[in-house]
Structure 1
Amino acid sequence: MTKSRITRDNLLDDVRRVVIKVGSAVITTGDGLNNAAINRLADQISILSDKGLDVVLVSSGAVAAGKQRILERTRRQRHNGKDMASRQAASSVGQGRLMHDYDEAFARHGKVTAQVLLTRSGLKLRERFLNARNTMERLLEWGVIPIVNENDTVSTRELEFGDNDTLGAMCLGLICADIFINLTSADGVFDKNPDGNPDAKPIPLIEDIASMDLEAMCDGKTNVGTGGMYSKLRAARRAAQLGVPTLIVSGKGQFDILAVLNGGAGGTLVLPDDRVVSNKKFWLAYHDNPCGSILVDEGAANALMTKGTSLLPIGITEVEGCFDRGALIFIKTADGNELGVGQTNYSADELRRIKGKRTDELAAIIGPTVSDEAVHRDNMLLDAAI
């Protein structure tokens, strides 16, 4: 469905696959998991499934569930630590509890669930990404509800900020989803943080998320979750690049996904971009954190942005960081303005030696070359939402 045709009244038109992300603040309380919320979520997802839609659920809540379990069984308070090791340990305890509750909730509707634990680094290799896609395809073919979560026990950076919002956006490309629903503790997006600004106004529709200053808008996080509204909007920005609309809507209380999808009020609808990137470019840009930067001159920047060219060594002015061939790196202007990200054909050391050089000079400097381009245009995403 094109951007111009998407409205609140036709969100389910042509929709075959849905990714629903639910935050910790929705399915937990101060005492642990909120079984009423989990059951209500299972009720509504089961209805979508019965209507013939493939649904993937990306769920937070394992850390809170683990803390609850440890307290129940040991009466120890040490689990309240907020350091990485404590949170990962709590998650390893809570993951089983979370899946048990989901399994029972969906079983009431005759649905089978599957636990899928992923990390962004686990999807870094294209072969692993495609293997994960094949597994998800088979589960959906069988009518199973995949429940995806971060593999917190072994992850590092991923658990620190916006983990499952980022993971939810990655799942869009993994299953070629048609819509992204992000259930949160807030009733959609506001023009400023409503927690400290009683005059904050809701934004029911975002037509061009690429033009918004997300960092300026978002200055708060929920107490239980790790991402806050910033990570939800960043995930929506990524979804928009893939051509997928996003609904950011409250999952608290008597929330009703079906009513919102059928034209009901509430929440925020984020429209997709007019220019859609390929699944491969989407994967390439967001499978990992960039580990360095290439700075380019004005001529190269203009060619990249207006002509869709590859980046040649002659346009490079500076190289930052230490990275190997095939690494994901930022592409920036000389004054530090981010143009996008790309997969480099050369290491940082090689690029420092050939920066500013013509293509016919490369072999004499570093020997046989792997490519004329420092970053090929097929391995580059400009205006990436990092």
Structure 2
Amino acid sequence: MPRTIVVKVGTSTLTQATRHLSKPIMLEIVRQVAVLHHEGHRMILVTSGAMAAGREQLKQNGFPAFLPVKQMLCAVGQSQLMRLYSDLFGLYEVQVGQVLVTGDDLRRNRTRYLNARDTLNTLLAYQVVPIINENDTVAVDEIKVGDNDNLSALIASIVNADLLLLLTDREGLYDKDPRQFPDAKRVEVVTQINDTIRSSANGHSSSGLGIGGMQTKIQAAELAGRSGIETVIGNGSTRDIILRIVNGESLGTRFLPSAPRVESRKRWLLSEPAQGKLMVDSGAVKVLFKNGASLLPVGVRQVEGQFPRGAIVAVEDFDGNKLAHGLTNYDSDELRRLCGVKSDQIEMVLGYTYGDEAVHRDNLALLQREKNQ
């Protein structure tokens, strides 16, 4: 069955303990992603390496401390990095698309979050592999702390991924630092991230070139796990590491999600306060509970409250029964104009469309059926 897989590769993997990008390593990563893409999996690549590419392009050997210089190197290097990826994926007849975002785009700005989600899902629908990096020219936190790990977890959550694979220069998480303790053992499976697991994480990559570390990868695994997404941390230099992990081989450290994906998302939707209310007719109630379908504008009869696109709203019938919570595709004013409107008439009414649904079924959490029948 096709899966949605997010692969994050860090600077330490891409440079292989040198100051320059390793073309053979990049080709190996691209080859594996391309194989899975051609098998029908929806692949997303989150990549670091812009600063390393910028240093190489400008023939800079040092590691600058001044943030504007780092940002300048990232600006120069990002175009070089993307050109390399585009050329390498082209060898396997895979089209790629660049997406530059910041953590704030996804955490605090709802409009940008929705735009990022829609863009990523559309790229995947058109069989394009998104290549994502933090927008380093405006997001200095990533340069300082290596937040591409957490960014990859946010991306995995946005696209409702099945697997997040974090490639690094380690074999996975160890019970203690293997550089200092020869008897250190790899942790194969983590069922719960607790203080013991966190204390096992060392804050730096073994090469010293990556700005992320095991701590940020643990944070990413925890973030993904709350969305019901499994995470594996593995060594990007291991032969066929991506293919072998996707095929079920026990490599690296596997972090089990804290809840099933559907349950986790439903719990989140139902736990958040509603910003508004959609009143629906009996036909919509029947379709929602019998067929598990999306809520279409034609079934919405009344809109209460003021809310933006992407807000969590309550869905109720006219008898006062609470039916569901869901994320809206349209804001409150748009939905008022769309009440009772068929989906093929949305563009005619608004002049544009964000989709056929008022609330897509993937973003809809139904309450207990027996309480509403």
Question: What is the 5 A alignment of 1:131-210?
Answer: 131-209=115-193
Aligned counterparts of 1:85 and 1:196: Cα–Cα separation in 2: 36
Question: What is the 5 A alignment of 1:195-274?
Answer: 195-209=179-193, 211-222=194-205, 223-274=208-259
Aligned counterparts of 2:247 and 2:196: Cα–Cα separation in 1: 30
Structure 1 residue 279, shift from structure 2 partner: 8.3
Deviation per residue, 1:214-239 (Å, 9 max, x gap)? 44222340211112101111100111
Aligned counterparts of 1:174 and 1:149: Cα–Cα separation in 2: 15
Deviation per residue, 1:134-172 (Å, 9 max, x gap)? 111111111111000000011122332131001000001
Aligned counterparts of 1:42 and 1:280: Cα–Cα separation in 2: 36
Assess if the C-alpha contact under 8 Å between 2:5 and 2:41 holds in 1.
yes
Aligned to 1:47: 35
Aligned to 1:101: 84
Query: Structure 2: which 5+ runs fail to align?
Result: 273-373
Aligned counterparts of 2:226 and 2:2: Cα–Cα separation in 1: 17
Aligned to 2:50: 62
TM-score normalised per structure 1: 0.65
**Displaced runs of 4+ in structure 1, greater than 6 A?**
none
Aligned counterparts of 1:114 and 1:132: Cα–Cα separation in 2: 13
Aligned counterparts of 2:266 and 2:234: Cα–Cα separation in 1: 26
Aligned counterparts of 1:238 and 1:86: Cα–Cα separation in 2: 31
Aligned counterparts of 2:24 and 2:152: Cα–Cα separation in 1: 23
Structure 1 residue 274, shift from structure 2 partner: 3.0
Aligned to 1:341: none
Assess if the C-alpha contact under 8 Å between 2:168 and 2:235 holds in 1.
yes
Assess if the C-alpha contact under 8 Å between 2:167 and 2:236 holds in 1.
yes
Which of 61, 74, 80 is 2:63 aligned to? 80
Structure 1 residue 122, shift from structure 2 partner: 2.1
Structure 1 residue 28, shift from structure 2 partner: 1.4
Aligned to 1:32: 20
Structure 1 residue 252, shift from structure 2 partner: 1.2
Deviation per residue, 1:42-94 (Å, 9 max, x gap)? 110011111111111000111111111111xxxx55x6313322221111111
Change (3 A) 1:251 1:279: farther
Identical-pair percentage: 34
Aligned counterparts of 1:157 and 1:28: Cα–Cα separation in 2: 21
Change (3 A) 1:280 1:165: farther
Assess if the C-alpha contact under 8 Å between 2:227 and 2:259 holds in 1.
no
RMSD of aligned alpha carbons:
2.3
Aligned counterparts of 2:20 and 2:268: Cα–Cα separation in 1: 39
Change (3 A) 1:176 1:263: closer
Change (3 A) 1:182 1:32: same
TM-score normalised per structure 2: 0.67
